[in-house]
Each structure stands twice: as structure tokens, then as C-alpha cells.
Amino acid sequence: MSKHASVMVVLVAWLGLLTGAASPQELESSAPAKTCLKTLESLSEQTRSSPDGEDDDDDGPAETAPSEWLPEGTETSDAQDPVRFNGVVMLQLDDAHRGNRNPSTQLPTLDGISDRPASTLPNIRRLRLSMTARLADNLDFIVQGHYDTRNDEANFRDCYLRWTINDALVLQAGQFKMRFGYEGYRSAAETNTIERSDATRALYQDRDFGLNLGGKTGKLEWDVGAFLGQRLDFQDEDRGKDVSARLVYNLTDQLRMGLSAHRGSYVPEGASLGQPFVRAGYEFHYRSGPWTVEAEALYGDGYNFFSQTDSLALGGYLATVYRLDDRWDLVLHLDALDPDLNRVDQLSPDNATNARGRVVLGANYYLARKPEHRIMLNYELNQQWQGPSFPQNGFRARYQYRF
């Protein structure tokens, strides 16, 4: 069976696998689950090995030569393989108890506060295909297409040139992810939880059009960038430009810390004037044996994507991951956000003003660690700290195949 045919089989079978066993032990012993897992494992073997027997892992921190540095999470090509394709598919099921904020759809919300009724429906969360082409020595062109059924949208997420100036200096120009913080900048295919924290969703710019110069000096990694400031919109809506900076210091092989800053303005849809803001972040990463601990604190003064007005916002998360074995990770994730420290709506569940918290209990089952081929199960416990309190707990399940 070809890889693409195997993918189609998996897309049909994944829901039965997720609901056929309630625990790691039951999942391993269930006969239908064993059959499905063998199919998935066979797919992973095809992905990990190229026809000539060479390791075809193109997902880690990419390198064009052993001594050459590139920013974390980037892709590359080489002289023997001048054009490389890779991608990811994510199929997702969200519990109706999470509520809905979009009256045009019955899909449960991905974040925040909502008491609208929703339906438990499967969806294509992400379907992405990327191409990396070597144009010249140390010059790559990267383009990524995106499709999802939640928003029924298809567009380009990445489209940029990357010039590897030397072994420790890289310049990017075009549309790509801004270097700010960690959870947002990190690939969705590598996150610990199915959905990112509210703090990241409110205060991270995501992709934008601009320039970024990144480098590495000893234990210090750094990035500085300038952007239009309109996310995926190529139009320059105001005269101001956004600037960003990120510093990450590797204290040891197990411990690193970082600081981020972003200053700019954003013109909301339908508005004529830009809304200014300043954002800052602190990140922490520790890994020892089977344990991984990650944390971020994010602060915003001005516009953010939840309040959608001039406000002070504060949030963050703390995540602990325990690696049971080559197959299983257990996740405990806590996050919180107050999108507007100066306003509270005591009468309604207002996503733009009211503070809230979330606890995520997760289990990730890996068919392959690299590239990530996994099944993710999350149960979210949500609490409204301001305004009306109501139950909004629910599960999420995702099947992910990265190739």
C-alpha cells in the first residue's frame, strides 16, 4: 500500500481507534486497536525510510551542513535534493461542551469563554503542504499552503526567501512566523497540547510580512525583525512598522531561558487607524531524563486579539510532560489569561474582558517521534474567574501525520 493510500485508510479509521480504548493498557490490548496501530506504524516506517535506505527525517532543527546553524524548526534542502516537499495533516474532534462563539457554525470553540450551544463534530484542523527549493548556494525559497474545514479557508501561510549568510547568521524575507515567545512560534505539529493557550492566542502575532535576521553567538540565540504588522494581509494598512526581538540563552544542555519583545500597531478589519501596542514575554525550558517543563509569561499594553481594543493583558502557561516510553507522553498543562485588566463584565461570559484559566490533562501516543506521527487525547477543565460561571469542560482528540 502506498503512503497516500495508507493516509486515506487512517483518515477513515482514526475515530474508531480513539474511542475503542480508554486507557494505554486497553489501547495496547484491544484487537481492533492493534490492527489499526499496525497500519499506522507501517505508515510511519514508510515515512522514516527513504527508498535508498537513508534516514529521511526533515523535521528537526534543519542543517545544510553539520556546522551550519539555522533557527529552530526550519526546513532546508541540499544540492542532492534541490526541491523538497513535506507536510502535515491533522484530523480533530472537539467536544460540544466547549461551547461556540461563531453563530455561523456549530463547531466548538478552540479557546476562551463561550456559552453558545455547539455540536461534537470532526474537522480537518490543518492540511498543509510545504516546498523548500534550493535557488543557489545558501539561498532557499520556502512556500507553504494551508487548508482547513473549520473556517473553510485555503491560503498561503509561508512564502519567503532564506539566506544562510554564514554558519551562524540567517536572513529571512517574506511572509513567515514572527520570532516572539515559544508556544506560538513553535510548530503546531510539535505542541504538547492540541490547542495553544489563550495567552498565546491573544498576544502572538503569528505570521506576518517582513524581514528577520537571526544568529547564534556561543550559548546565545537572537532574532530581530521588522514587519508590516497586519498578519496574513499583504497590504500596508498604516505607516507604522512592527519591530520584534527575541533572545534565548542556553544556560546548560537541559536549561534555557528567553525574552521577547514586540512593538507595533494593528488595523482591525473595517477600521481606518492602527491600534498601537507593546508586548513582552519570558520563556523557560527545562528537560532532564523523561521530564520536560516549559513555561511562558506574556504581557500586552494596547491592542490584543481578544480584547480588540486598547487594554492591559497578562497571561501565561506552565506545562509538564513525562515521557513514559517511546510511545507515550503524559501532559499536565495549566494556562491563564486576563485580556483586559481594567474591565470586567459581571453580567455575561465576555471573552474580550473576563479572566479565565484552563487545566489540560493529556496523553499523546506516538507511532513515530520524528516526523511526528501521533494520536493526542486532551481533557480540558475550564474556569471563568470573572463574570458568570458555567460548565465548559470537554475533550479534544487529534490524529496527526507529518511527512
Dmax of the chain from CA atoms?
64
- As a whole number of angstroms, the distance between CA 394 and CA 22 comes to 15
Cis peptide before 117 (omega within 30 of 0): no
136 Cβ contact partners less than 8 Å away, ≥ 6 residues apart: none
Query: Which of 37-41, 98-102, 263-267, 363-367 is the most confident on average?
Result: 363-367
Q: Is the pLDDT of residue 20 over 90?
A: no
Count Cβ atoms below 10 Å from residue 366 Cβ, excluding itself.
19
Tell me what the pLDDT averaged over the chain comes to. Answer: 85
The mean pLDDT value for 270-289 works out to: 94
Position with higher pLDDT, 219 vs 46: 219
Residue 311 pLDDT:
96
Indicate if the alpha-carbon torsion angle 44, 46, 52, 58 is positive or negative. Answer: negative
Question: Exposed (0-12), middle (13-18) or buried (19+): which is 70, by Cβ within 10 Å?
Answer: buried
Residue 332 pLDDT:
98
- 3-state SS record for 278-345: EEEEEEEEEEECCEEEEEEEEEEEECCCCCCCCEEEEEEEEEEEEECCCCEEEEEEEEEEECCCCCCC
Report the DSSP pairing between strands 169-177 and 207-217: antiparallel
Residue 34 pLDDT:
58
- Domains of the chain in start order, with CATH, are 1-56 (no CATH), 60-402 (2.40.160.10)
Q: Could you please report the per-residue DSSP string of 255-278?
A: EEEEEEEEEEEE--TT-SS-EEEE
The mean pLDDT value for 316-325 works out to: 98
Residue 271 pLDDT:
83
Q: In degrees rounded to 5, what are phi and psi of residue 347? A: -100, -20
Residue 104 pLDDT:
80
Count, residues in the chain: 403
pLDDT band at 19, cuts 50/70/90? very low
Nearest alpha carbon to residue 285 among 320, 260, 322 = 320
The mean pLDDT value for 291-299 works out to: 98
Nearest alpha carbon to residue 393 among 368, 359, 351 = 359
Residue 73 pLDDT:
52
Position with higher pLDDT, 233 vs 244: 244
Q: In DSSP terms, which residues pair with 78 in a beta bridge?
A: 81
Residue 106 pLDDT:
86
Give the three-state DSSP class for 382: strand
The mean pLDDT value for 36-61 works out to: 46
Residue 42 pLDDT:
60
Q: Could you please report the per-residue DSSP string of 63-112?
A: -SSTT----TT----BTTBSEEEEEEEEEEEE-GGG-B--TT--PPPSSS
The mean pLDDT value for 92-120 works out to: 89
User: Which of 53-57, 73-77, 285-289 has the weakest average pLDDT?
Assistant: 53-57
The mean pLDDT value for 262-271 works out to: 90
**Cell for 218?**
556561543
The mean pLDDT value for 256-263 works out to: 98
Q: Is the pLDDT of residue 15 over 60?
A: no
Question: Exposed (0-12), middle (13-18) or buried (19+): which is 103, by Cβ within 10 Å?
Answer: exposed
Residue 206 pLDDT:
93
Position with higher pLDDT, 11 vs 101: 101
User: Which of 29-38, 341-350, 392-401 has the weakest average pLDDT?
Assistant: 29-38
CA–CA distances in Å: residue 156 to residues 84, 153, 159, 166: 17, 10, 7, 28
- As a whole number of angstroms, the distance between CA 273 and CA 287 comes to 44
Q: Is the pLDDT of residue 169 over 70?
A: yes
374 Cβ contact partners less than 8 Å away, ≥ 6 residues apart: 364, 365, 366, 367, 368, 399, 400
Query: Which of 26-35, 51-60, 239-248 is the most confident on average?
Result: 239-248
* % of the chain residues with pLDDT over 90: 68
Nearest alpha carbon to residue 74 among 221, 234, 259 = 221
